[in-house]
Structure 1
Amino acid sequence: MQAFHDVSFPLSIAFGASGGPERRNEIIQLSSGAEKRNARMAYSRRRYDAGAGIRSLDDLYEVMAFFEARRGSLHAFRFRDPFDMKSCSRGATPASSDQVIGTGDGSKRRFRLRKTYGEGADAYMREITHPLASSVRVAVDGSEIQPSAGFSVDPATGEVVFASHAVPANGAVVTAGYVFDVPVRFDTDQLNASITSFRAGQIPSIPMVEVRS
């Protein structure tokens, strides 16, 4: 049975990966020479290849064990995207004001984390489902809330859950900052490893693809 394993792909190897978001658009050229373009996917999907992250035999053995434990492509897991892993820019520290995640109505307790790319009507809003729970910072109308006093992070959905005594008031803007992982699975059922010297080895390709629940 397929499942999500709440474990992280080795970070040191992930940071050597290549990849990024994928879109699927249908482009039809009309007889007039004009184009008609349609989005075939409402959300982007990320693909990665961590083969370049293998730098030692220890790395090789670690990935082989991780692959076996996931039963190849059967079970999904966490992957830290080296290019996009924070609510803020890569070099900054997440702040509670980074991303607007909703507006209170006086009774709503659960707010899904999200990250916005671009501005205005053309902005793309991405749901974040696997934050690093300890990194999540939250503010209501600009005032930061401490986790111990007002909120928690649901490990199953990644949502911010306010305590009953700290529910945001009607019209209150809820913002958040965080570090996050991408849920992925291996996009292959075979790894081709080789030992190139006494202390070095390689796995030329370790493809992974984002999964959506």
Structure 2
Amino acid sequence: MSGFHDIRFPDAVARGATGGPEFSTDIIAVASGFEQRNVNWSAARAKYDISTGIRTREQMAEVIAFFRARKGRAYGFRFRDWNDFEAEAQPLAPTTDPLIWQLTKQYASGPSADQRVITKPEAGTVVVRVGGSPILVDVDYLTGLITFDLAPATQPYADFLFDVPVRFDTDHLPVVAVAYHIQQVSSIALIEIRA
């Protein structure tokens, strides 16, 4: 992924952020009241507002420095979604190469499920199992690709922690200094980057 800095947004601010997955759906209603729904995206794209996580002058200074170092929307970075960052016993998705598999996370609800591709696992947290036994694999922490020495004979599973690749959704950081220790900002949006 070009234009990506492999650094995580400050956790203390991220813990207070709001947001989550977003889909794009067009709804066409006819005169009788029936609807036709067209799903535009096959996968969700997360959006966050980090302004709700800024509680101190020091945190605001850290966000300003982080924003300037990423040059607004120019460079992506890692973001910890504290509501969704853990995965246990998740099936890996095959690729065209039998030695290379992709980290994923399943979201099941009743008979329906959604599979999310994970591209930013946290270093040192990925444990891959085949037949219930942990095995050594090569993990690409910038793509979420897992490389086996030998093609697995059965479905591989993984436990891991992960971040979301995001970027600022603005090139302008509107901060108002109300007093020395009080700054106000209406919204600072982050948007997920799709690989």
TM-score by length of 2: 0.91
Give the Å deviation of 1:116: 0.8
1:155-202 Cα offsets, whole Å, 9 max, x none, are 33111112x2x4312xx0100011111111101111122334443434
What residue in structure 1 maps to residue 147 of structure 2?
161
Give the Å deviation of 1:57: 1.2
Question: Is the 8 Å Cα contact of residues 60 and 202 (structure 1) preserved in structure 2?
Answer: no
Q: Distance in 1 between matches of 2:99 and 2:164?
A: 24
Which of 87, 99, 124 aligns to 2:90? It is 99
Question: Is the 8 Å Cα contact of residues 107 and 113 (structure 2) preserved in structure 1?
Answer: yes
Question: Is the 8 Å Cα contact of residues 25 and 39 (structure 2) preserved in structure 1?
Answer: yes
Larger CA deviation: 22-31 vs 193-202? 193-202
Q: Distance in 2 between matches of 1:68 and 1:104?
A: 37
Q: Distance in 1 between matches of 2:7 and 2:186?
A: 23
C-alpha RMSD over aligned residues = 2.1
What residue in structure 1 maps to residue 189 of structure 2?
207
What are the ranges of 5 or more consecutive residues in structure 2 without an aligned counterpart? none
One-letter code aligned to 1:167: A
Question: Is the 8 Å Cα contact of residues 54 and 201 (structure 1) preserved in structure 2?
Answer: no
Q: Secondary structure at the match of 2:12?
A: helix
Question: Is the 8 Å Cα contact of residues 194 and 203 (structure 1) preserved in structure 2?
Answer: yes
Q: Distance in 1 between matches of 2:172 and 2:48?
A: 16
Q: Distance in 1 between matches of 2:109 and 2:98?
A: 26
Question: Is the 8 Å Cα contact of residues 9 and 66 (structure 1) preserved in structure 2?
Answer: yes
Give the Å deviation of 1:72: 0.5
Q: Matched residue pairs, number?
A: 194
Q: Distance in 2 between matches of 1:15 and 1:34?
A: 41
What residue in structure 1 maps to residue 69 of structure 2?
69
1:24-56 Cα offsets, whole Å, 9 max, x none, are 111111233221111011111110001011111
Give the Å deviation of 1:142: 1.3
What residue in structure 2 maps to residue 142 of structure 1?
132
Give the Å deviation of 1:101: 1.1
Alpha-carbon distance change, 68 to 43 in structure 1, aligned in 2, over 3 angstroms: same
- Show the 5 A alignment for 1:43-62: 43-62=43-62
Percent identity reads 41
1:108-143 Cα offsets, whole Å, 9 max, x none, are 211100011115762111100001021111100111
Q: Distance in 1 between matches of 2:173 and 2:82?
A: 22
What residue in structure 1 maps to residue 175 of structure 2?
193
What are the ranges of 5 or more consecutive residues in structure 1 without an aligned counterpart? 88-94
Give the Å deviation of 1:204: 3.2
What residue in structure 1 maps to residue 6 of structure 2?
6
Question: Is the 8 Å Cα contact of residues 57 and 195 (structure 1) preserved in structure 2?
Answer: no
Give the Å deviation of 1:86: 1.1
Question: Is the 8 Å Cα contact of residues 55 and 202 (structure 1) preserved in structure 2?
Answer: no
What residue in structure 2 maps to residue 25 of structure 1?
25
Q: Distance in 2 between matches of 1:41 and 1:99?
A: 23
One-letter code aligned to 1:100: P
Q: Secondary structure at the match of 1:134?
A: coil
Q: Distance in 1 between matches of 2:60 and 2:189?
A: 15
Q: Distance in 2 between matches of 1:136 and 1:64?
A: 32
